[in-house]
């Protein structure tokens, strides 16, 4: 079991009361109306998603799914504690794509991790799949994590979200935008999402549950096939679901893991999944990757309530030999020692790791981290420079190197490294934040404001992005090219903000019509 998790406090997104129910891997939702005490000008998060009209009779196209998914992801970045550690991000994307490449999906997959002890995962139309750290830390193998991802992927490939909206059209279910808004609630604060049950009639609940069970069986069947084709242990899905179900069979309903609430699990369903898996006859099964072991321990330390508690946890594990992989456990121990500021002992443990695998990027990054924590910025900079030269495509190495270059006054080199890294069309928020920092240190105010605007835009903070662009406009002596680029981006963001205003007005108008009628 992982160390006790620190308390999780979601970031508030709105003063308005917004309740949502996430049913069956984001397959359906029922939302409660806003409280009469709310400020009517305080628009819930779902109003910041594209408006596609009333759900009655609507068929959501793949392009609309992509637009809604991208909008939802921007809102999640704004609201939820998404893990931005590059090693974790790259691992979950790599694992997900090892399954997704067999799925025959018409779009791209985007996998991400939310820092929360809740055992949950969800899929958002448009190819976005989120997994909570609590689920990873409660897994016993990489195949179990893969089984959940395969299940989620199958909900997307079968378009269960769009089909649920279509099937629920005769029950006055809210629009797709409200549906995705409720996903945000459930992803950030699941108990708040579950509160919407009180607002749903019994008949509607039963209809949705029945529909969801059909989705779940279909996702199980296709997900198990994906596991088989990808080389993972197909029985892992039944094992993981069964372990959760057994562990919570007699629990207080309030204590049931979120994954069991949003993914109805029955003994029959587990038996069917097991029977289906056994029929496929796994010939060769992938062993847990070393990367899975390292990421598990990293998340375990990151989520620890107390660094000293994490240190004691690993000391007991290493003493008693209750680890799956000793060097991976020692990696977690070294991380815990650094977090607990026990740097001398951390240096000893790190030496053991480097003696075994001196070229492993994860250990070299840990070495640079230790040197920084010990006040040896110059040594850390040399270590990261060598690592970046050896692993030019490693995001964690690149961004750690650039961040330290910025802090040590080497902004010219920081900017050069960033400009040479990655693909221009696939930049993530941290890239723009680091680039803006480098340009600010170089006195390039116009480009610093512009890239900070790009950072805020990718985080869903359109108003803050607009403000940064306005600041860029009034920087003295900007070039003609800079002005054109800034003006073009301002036009795009103004259109987005105007669209949001129109969508909010439409929703208010529809709500008023519903209340009158």
Q: How many CA atoms, within 13 angstroms, populate the side-chain half-sphere of residue 107?
A: 22
- Joined together, the tokens standing for residue 494 give 């103004």
**Within its chain, how far is the Cα of 5 from the centroid?**
18
Beta-ladder partners of 491:
none
Would you say 235 and 66 are in contact if contact means Cβ atoms under 8 Å apart?
no
Angle ∠(42,46,51) on CA atoms, nearest 5 = 110
Cα separation, 334 vs 301, whole angstroms = 10
What would the two tokens of residue 344 be?
């001398």
Which residue reads 């680890």 in tokens?
323
In total, the chain counts a number of residues equal to 517
Residues 6+ apart with CB under 8 A from 466: 453, 490, 493, 494, 497
Residue with tokens 């480097």: 354
Q: Choose, from 51, 216, 220, 437, the residue flagged as catalytic.
A: 220
* Helix residue ranges per DSSP H, 170-235: 176-188, 190-194, 202-230
Write down the catalytic residue from 144, 152, 258, 410. Answer: 152
Instruction: Name the strands in the sheet holding 128-132, side by side, starting at the edge strand that comes first in the sequence.
Output: 110-114, 128-132, 121-124
Rounded CA-CA distance 178/508 in Å is 12
Q: What share of the chain is helix, strand, coil (3-state, %, to 5)?
A: 65, 5, 30
CA torsion sign for 312, 314, 319, 321 is positive
Residue 253 carries which DSSP code? G
Concerning whether 220 is annotated as a catalytic residue, the answer is yes
Give me 323's structure tokens: 């680890």
| Active site annotation includes 512 | no
Strand, helix or coil at 28?
strand
Query: What CA–CA distance (Å, rounded) separates 140 from 131?
Result: 16
Q: Which two tokens stand for residue 482?
A: 């800079």
Compute the chain's Rg from CA coordinates.
24
Contact criterion met (CB below 8 Å) for 172 and 208: no
From the list 25, 434, 348, the residue with the least C-alpha distance to 218 is 25
CB 303 within 8 A of CB 4: no
| CB 233 within 8 Å of CB 141 | yes
Spatial CA neighbour of 224 closest among 291, 283, 282:
282
Residue whose tokens read 């819930």: 44
CA 199 to chain centre: 28
Catalytic residue numbers, as ranges: 152, 220
């Amino acid at each position: 079991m992982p160390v006790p998790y620190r308390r999780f406090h979601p970031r508030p997104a709105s003063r308005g009361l917004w309740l949502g129910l996430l049913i069956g891997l984001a397959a359906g939702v029922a939302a409660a109306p806003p409280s009469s005490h709310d400020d009517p000008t305080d628009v819930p998060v779902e109003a910041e998603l594209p408006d596609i009209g009333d759900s009655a009779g609507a068929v959501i196209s793949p392009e609309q799914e992509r637009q809604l998914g991208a909008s939802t992801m921007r809102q999640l970045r704004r609201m939820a504690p998404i893990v931005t550690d590059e090693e974790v991000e790259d691992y979950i994307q790599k694992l997900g794509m090892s399954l997704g490449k067999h799925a025959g999906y018409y779009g791209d997959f985007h996998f991400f991790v939310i820092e929360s002890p809740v055992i949950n995962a969800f899929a958002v139309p448009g190819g976005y799949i989120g997994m909570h750290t609590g689920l990873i830390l409660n897994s016993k193998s990489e195949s179990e994590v893969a089984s959940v991802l395969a299940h989620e992927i199958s909900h997307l490939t079968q378009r269960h979200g769009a089909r649920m909206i279509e099937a629920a059209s005769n029950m006055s279910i809210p629009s797709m935008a409200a549906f995705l808004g409720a996903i945000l609630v459930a992803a950030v604060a699941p108990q708040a999402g579950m509160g919407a049950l009180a607002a749903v009639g019994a008949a509607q609940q039963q209809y949705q549950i029945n529909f969801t069970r059909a989705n779940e069986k279909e996702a199980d069947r296709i997900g198990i096939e994906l596991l088989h084709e990808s080389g993972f242990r197909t029985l892992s899905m039944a094992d993981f679901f069964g372990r959760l179900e057994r562990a919570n069979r007699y629990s207080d309903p309030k204590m049931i893991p979120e994954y069991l609430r949003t993914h109805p699990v029955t003994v029959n369903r587990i038996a069917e999944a097991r029977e289906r898996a056994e029929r496929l006859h796994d010939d060769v099964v992938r062993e847990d990757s070393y990367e899975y072991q390292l990421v598990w321990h990293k998340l375990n330390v990151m989520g620890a309530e107390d660094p000293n508690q994490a240190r004691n946890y690993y000391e007991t594990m290493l003493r008693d030999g209750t680890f799956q992989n000793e060097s991976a456990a020692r990696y977690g121990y070294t991380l815990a020692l650094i977090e607990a500021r026990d740097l001398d002992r951390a240096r000893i443990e790190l030496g053991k790791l480097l003696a075994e695998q001196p070229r492993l990027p994860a250990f070299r990054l840990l070495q640079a981290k230790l040197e920084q924590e010990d006040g040896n910025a110059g040594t850390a900079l040399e270590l990261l420079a060598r690592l970046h030269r050896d692993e030019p495509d490693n995001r964690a190495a690149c961004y750690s190197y650039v961040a330290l270059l910025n802090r040590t006054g080497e902004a010219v080199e920081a900017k050069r490294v960033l400009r040479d890294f990655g693909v221009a069309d696939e930049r993530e928020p941290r890239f723009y934040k680091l680039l803006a920092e480098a340009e600010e240190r170089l006195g390039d105010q116009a480009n610093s404001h512009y890239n900070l605007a790009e950072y805020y835009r990718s985080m869903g903070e359109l108003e803050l992005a607009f403000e940064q662009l306005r600041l860029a406009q009034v920087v003295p002596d900007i070039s003609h090219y800079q002005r054109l680029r800034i003006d073009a981006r301002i036009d795009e963001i103004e259109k987005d903000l105007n669209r949001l205003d129109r969508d909010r007005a439409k929703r208010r108008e529809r709500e008023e019509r519903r209340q009158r009628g």
